[in-house]
Amino acid sequence: MARRFTGFVSAVALVLGALTSPAVAAATSTDESQIRQVVAAELTALRALDPTAYAQSFCAEHRDAYEAWMQRNITPPPFEDLEGANSKRLTSVLHKNFPSVSDTAIKAFVDAVADGDRDAYHRTWLGILREEFSHYSYRVRQVEITGDQADVTVQATLGRASGTVQWQFLREDGDWKDCTAPPAESDSAAPTLKGEAPQGLLGAIDDVRAAG
């Protein structure tokens, strides 16, 4: 038995190119501000674990896919997969895969498993994710706007881990939207966020059942 869950890591950076026309510069500055607002909205929705709000930052082509994808990734492993888990082993797995999460949050989840409390199981899993996502940060690095499209260089940081990815934005009905293609459906067992290497949140759970 193995389950892999990956979190949502993303970041954006926006840098204006050389502009010769004051009118064009003003328009581009507004574009940059709008794109930054979209990025901020994505992070806010991510931290709130709100798939519907998260999806609103994306273009129409990908909106439904991102909502479903986020919902899938914040859903805990099936309760039955952890029934009978060895509490010490489960605690160790969680600490390894959620190094930024407090002992209190992890213990609450482990206790819910041990007690067979399904409501607490779901509630405490979301508590773990909220703590984990609270440590994400985004930093604007570069943006290149061409007409109604923009290529954005993104830096994402979680604790000591940091990486850069490229996002694609599209002006849709006058508003900038993130139009980066979502992960392929075939990768849903180990999804990544918009082309970035996966960072395991729970990782594989294959040795947490109590012996005997």
Adjacent-strand bridge partners of 167: 152
Average pLDDT (16-35) is 53
Average pLDDT (49-70) is 95
Domains of the chain: 22-75+135-187 (3.10.450.50), 79-132 (no CATH)
Q: Please, what is the end-to-end C-alpha distance for the chain in angstroms?
A: 17
The packing angle between helices 103-115 and 118-133, to 10°, is 160
pLDDT at 28: 62
* 51 close to 179: Cβ distance less than 8 angstroms: no
pLDDT at 25: 38
Average pLDDT (81-94) is 91
Q: Which residue has the higher pLDDT, 180 or 23?
A: 180
pLDDT at 170: 97
Q: Which of 9-18, 34-43, 57-66 has the lowest mean pLDDT?
A: 9-18
Which pTM does this prediction carry? 0.72
Class of residue 178 by CB neighbours under 10 A (exposed 0-12, middle 13-18, buried 19+): buried
pLDDT at 8: 32
pLDDT at 16: 22
pLDDT tens digit sequence for 93-151: 999 888 889 999 999 999 999 999 999 999 999 999 999 989 888 887 888 999 999 99
78-110 burial by CB neighbour count: b if 16+ within 10 A, else e? eeebbeebbeebbbebbeebbeebeeebbebbb
Distances (CA, A) of 96 to 1, 78, 148: 18, 20, 43
pLDDT at 185: 56
| HSE-CB for 150 with a 13 A CA cutoff | 31
pLDDT tens digit sequence for 170-201: 999 999 999 999 876 544 333 334 433 333 33
C-alpha to C-alpha distance for 66 and 111, rounded to whole angstroms: 32
Judged against a pLDDT cut of 60, whether residue 42 lies above it is answered with yes
C-alpha to C-alpha distance for 210 and 89, rounded to whole angstroms: 9
C-alpha to C-alpha distance for 109 and 86, rounded to whole angstroms: 13
